[in-house]
A and B are shown apart, each in its own frame.
Chain A
Amino acid sequence: DQQVKQNSPSLSVQEGRISILNCDYTNSMFDYFLWYKKYPAEGPTFLISISSIKDKNEDGRFTVFLNKSAKHLSLHIVPSQPGDSAVYFCAASAPDDSWGKLQFGAGTQVVVTP
């Protein structure tokens, strides 16, 4: 059941440059989207979210863009820092789902090189 897809398993980016992570979804009922970051041996940490009534949300170096017609969202990290090296998960929820039931993508491993 691949409702949330992250087709790039890995991304390498130079420090200071922009990281762009992509996520596609198939369920048109999804109305809330989140990005989580995960370091090895730790749990996912919330980064940023967006409701389907918006097409952009910004928080510091992180911006999430939502294109509902394309069922696509992306996370931009500018500028990328070495501490951003982690696995990034896209997640989504639908109004019919119970609270906190998230569908996760497979994750994208980001490596920020000096």
Chain B
Amino acid sequence: EPEVTQTPSHQVTQMGQEVILRCVPISNHLYFYWYRQILGQKVEFLVSFYNNEISEKSEIFDDQFSVERPDGSNFTLKIRSTKLEDSAMYFCASSEARELLSNSPLHFGNGTRLTVT
């Protein structure tokens, strides 16, 4: 079964450094998302992306964050200057269709654990 793949599985970085988290969505999917889960907290929506532009972003997704689809397969999340509170598990997801239907739910990757020291 096709799956969303994320790399790296674990990223350790120093505060103030830039990080890029990478995702390869399922190939025929057109809608892409980033979510994150801080340890012990809920899974939170960050951003949705379609047709090479952001559809919606949450309050968390400030100017330090950006997303890009640099080619036909990758979808990246960049954090320009990491803070301690950015430490979390970051999940990429994709979906085939615009409407959330039982045959087009969000498919999540296994996540990248980001640790900011």
Q: A49-B101, A105-B42 are in contact. List 18 more A-B contacts (CB 8 A).
A: A34-B105, A36-B108, A43-B4, A43-B6, A43-B110, A43-B111, A45-B108, A46-B107, A48-B102, A91-B43, A98-B55, A99-B55, A100-B93, A101-B33, A101-B45, A102-B45, A102-B106, A106-B41
Decide: A99 and B100 in contact? CB cutoff 8 A: yes
Q: Number of contact residues on A: which range applies?
A: 20 to 34
Distance (whole angstroms) from the CB of A54 to the closest CB of chain B:
11
Asked if A89 is at the interface of the complex by the 8 Å CB criterion, the answer is: yes
**Smallest CB-CB separation from A45: which chain B residue?**
B108
Asked if A104 is at the interface of the complex by the 8 Å CB criterion, the answer is: yes
Distance (whole angstroms) from the CB of A32 to the closest CB of chain B:
5
A-side contacts of B100, CB under 8 Å: 32, 34, 49, 93, 99-100, 102
CB contact between A49 and one of B31, B42, B91, B105 (< 8 Å): that residue: B105
Which residues 58-110 of B have a CB within 8 angstroms of A? 91, 93, 95, 98-102, 105-110
Decide: B48 and A41 in contact? CB cutoff 8 A: no
Asked if B18 is at the interface of the complex by the 8 Å CB criterion, the answer is: no
A-side contacts of B55, CB under 8 Å: 98-99
